[in-house]
Amino acid sequence: MSTESLVATQYARDFPAAVLLPPVEERSIRVEFAQSREDIEAAQRLRYTIFAGEMGARLHNRIPGLDHDRFDHYCQHLVVRDALGEMVGCTRILTAPAAQRAGGFYSQTEFDLAPVLALPGRFMEIGRTCVRADSRNGATISALWSGLAAFIADHRIDYLIGCASIPLGEQGLEAQALYLELAQRHLVADSLRVTPHLPLPRRDGLVPRKCAVPPLLKAYLRLGARIGGEPCLDPDFQVADVFILLSTQRIERRYARHFLERDQ
């Protein structure tokens, strides 16, 4: 058996849903799960281009040109391709059983999630989401969410979790101001608050410049997601991360049909 066949066989055994889930079409683009090591490396290369090249993040990669970490092996990688078949967007899914094998969710490297993970139900985490600059449009984002929605429906997921980034601004003032603003309407109940391992330093008494809500965080909130508590400082990306908790049973009705209903 060839190396490529061995990789494909191993991937199919580890992630059978990735093979069985049919691609979700969105006009001239399509969303599908990575089926090979080459697909995963292409997603990691796209991540590196955007995170390191565009955003200037400090990545702890050992393979030049790829953004990779210990969680990648346990994740299912959802990718969006354009009409020419080129990869223009990606995200990764880590289910609770896979997270147990990985030693936890990625979010647990930034937050103590004990109150949230005590909830009964099935969890999935998404992360490392990115879209190529020339494809950051509604069609690409819609295709990505369609793929996620199909996975949620197929696996009867109860909670979607993840981290969403906020620009720090000068001395972290923008991130602090935006969090305080959003917390008034989108904060989880006290009993579900998570604790950041590296809290964002407070800058009381300083007046921040108003900051717009980043697109990914805005998408979460529109679906009905809640913010888990105080932000965590991410020094590698120079951003503040907020923990996101989305109950799939409480998705805003005006978005539920678009994201969660599928053709039978």
Please say if the pLDDT value at position 82 is more than 70. Answer: yes
Does residue 263 register a pLDDT over 80? no
Please say if the pLDDT value at position 198 is more than 50.
yes
Find tokens 């913010």 and name the residue: 227
For range 23-52, the mean pLDDT: 88
The radius of gyration of the chain's CA atoms, rounded to the nearest angstrom, is 18
Residue ranges of domains in the chain: 3-260
Asked whether the predicted pLDDT for residue 104 surpasses 70, the reply is: yes
CA distance to 3, 147, 221, per residue, from 260 (Å)? 37, 10, 16
pLDDT value for 244: 97
Residue 234 pairs in a beta bridge with 239
The whole-number pLDDT of residue 148 equals 92
Q: Please count the other Cβ atoms lying within 10 Å of the Cβ belonging to residue 130.
A: 21
CA 76 – CA 211 distance, rounded (Å): 33
CA 50 and chain centroid, separation: 15
Taking alpha carbons only, the member of 23, 34, 137 closest to residue 91 is: 34
Least confident piece of the model among 41-50, 109-118, 213-222: 213-222
Task: Please name which of 97, 91, 95, 104 lies closest in space to residue 44, comparing C-alpha atoms.
Answer: 91
Strands (E) located in the chain: 24-26, 29-33, 76-81, 87-95, 111-112, 123-131, 159-167, 195-196, 226-227, 232-234, 239-247
Say whether pLDDT at 15 is over 70. no
In the chain, what percentage of residues exceed pLDDT 90?
Answer: 63
Which region among 142-151, 175-184, 201-210, 223-232 has the lowest average model confidence (pLDDT)?
Answer: 201-210
* Entry pTM: 0.85
pLDDT tens figures, 229-262? 999 999 999 999 999 999 998 775 555 555 554 4
The confidence score (pLDDT) of residue 256 equals 57
pLDDT tens-digit map of 202-236 = 766 655 566 789 888 988 898 889 999 999 999 99
Residue 10 has pLDDT above 80, yes or no: no
Name the fold adopted by 3-260: Aminopeptidase (3.40.630)
